[in-house]
Amino acid sequence: MCEVTRLVHLSPGTDAMVRDRLMTRVRDIAAPAARRVLVEPTLPGVRNGGDVLVHLRFDESADWLGTATEVDTLLSESPVAHVDGVEYQGGTAGTAEPGATGSVYRVLLLRVEQDTPCAMVERFEADLLRMPRYLPGIRSWQLSRVTRGTGLAAWTHVWEQEFADLDALVGPYLMHPVHWAHVDRWFDPECPDMIVRDRICHSFCVNRPL
């Protein structure tokens, strides 16, 4: 399985009609080869999350390679101002129950410092994967290591979830003790355990794949 995420930042002043035409073109390019095509406007509250979220899933890397040039060429043209993106093979995944889905898709792109000991990276990953156990609003999740990235940081990880609804993301997820007591320390510059550097991209949209 090959997965691709692109967070598309549009030029200031781009209107909704131009944005929607761009999204339609991305869907049309990706749909013939992809198993999953999610191309939606981001919702209010994203952090470095862009204006359009693109998430594509392919059965084989070759399926993406046959599509990549056309997608990335389109996303290099006006009205696109900047793109942060990752490519990855599906990592550690789970669901709250068989077939569980949510109405909101969320993705976090992050960079772990290069010289971080492997054991510390594994503890960090374990803390992220512990979260769904305490947050029933997370319906499905996946933590993956990046194979190729683009944008303003050398991304190392992709942390994805489907949430039951928007309230489950912006309320219990961000405010739950498991977040601020176990996970935030990896991101906090005042904590000696901090290993996540540079900017992060926190993006989410309506989960409405083709």
Rounded Cα distance between 15 and 181, Å, is 41
Is the peptide bond preceding residue 79 cis, with omega within 30 degrees of 0?
Answer: yes
**Burial letters 152-182, b for 16+ CB under 10 A, else e:** ebebbbbbbbbbbebebbbebbeebebbeeb
Q: What local confidence, expressed as pLDDT, does residue 185 receive? A: 83
Q: What local confidence, expressed as pLDDT, does residue 164 receive? A: 96
Q: What local confidence, expressed as pLDDT, does residue 187 receive? A: 86
Q: What local confidence, expressed as pLDDT, does residue 181 receive? A: 65
Task: Give the pair of three-digit tokens for residue 49.
Answer: 């999350």
Q: What local confidence, expressed as pLDDT, does residue 180 receive? A: 60
Q: Could you give the number of structural domains in the chain? A: 1
Residues of the chain with pLDDT under 70: 174, 176, 179-181
pLDDT digits (tens, 9 = 90+) for 62-81: 999 999 999 999 999 999 99
Q: What local confidence, expressed as pLDDT, does residue 179 receive? A: 66
- The pTM score is 0.95
CATH number at 198 reads 3.30.70.100
Domain with 117, as residue range(s), is 2-206
Rounded Cα distance between 49 and 46, Å, is 5
How many Cβ atoms are within 10 Å of 70's Cβ, its own excluded? 14
Rounded Cα distance between 177 and 161, Å, is 18
Q: Which residues contact 1 (CB under 8 A, 6 or more apart)?
A: 57, 58, 59, 89, 90
